[in-house]
């Protein structure tokens, strides 16, 4: 899946400045966004999905540790499973929660910035109409 951004440089510039851009029939320039830009974009959902995958991996490790520990009576036999799967699983769950939290905050910030741009433009239009 490729994200496409439409950009118009006007009718006088018909050549592409960067590789990976193409023009459609209307003269709009089609630009492919890099995968890194898609991941680092504040409004992207990719980090949220990555955080959920990390959380699920952590719960899977906790489940594996629990399944192994539940069958053993001696604590000295349980400790290797707790240390090798239980604690890293807990760490992955916590890391995934941090990733999801940071991603949600970035998405909220991007939405707030878009709303502020719309509000600023509306205020400029109002000022222009009052100045006339």
**Domain coordinates of the chain in residue numbers?**
1-33, 34-131
Are the C-beta atoms of 101 and 109 separated by less than 8 Å?
A: no
For tokens 């906790």, the residue is 62
Are the C-beta atoms of 56 and 92 separated by less than 8 Å?
A: no
pTM of the model: 0.67
Rounded Cα distance between 98 and 103, Å, is 8
- Name the pLDDT band for 38 (thresholds 50, 70, 90): confident
User: Is the pLDDT score of 104 beyond 60?
Assistant: yes
For tokens 């851009």, the residue is 21
């Amino acid at each position: 899946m490729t994200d496409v951004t439409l950009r118009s440089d006007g009718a006088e510039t018909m050549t592409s400045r960067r590789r990976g851009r193409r023009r459609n029939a209307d003269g709009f320039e089609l630009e492919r966004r890099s995968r890194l830009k898609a991941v680092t974009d504040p409004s992207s959902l990719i980090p949220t999905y990555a955080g959920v995958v990390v959380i699920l991996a952590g719960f899977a490790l906790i489940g594996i540790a629990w399944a192994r520990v539940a069958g053993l009576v001696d604590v000295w036999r349980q400790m290797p499973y707790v240390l090798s799967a239980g604690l890293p699983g807990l760490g992955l769950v916590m890391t995934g929660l941090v990733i999801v939290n940071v991603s949600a905050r970035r998405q909220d910030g991007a939405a707030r910035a878009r709303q502020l741009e719309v509000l600023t433009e509306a205020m400029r239009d109002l000022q222009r109409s009052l100045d006339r």
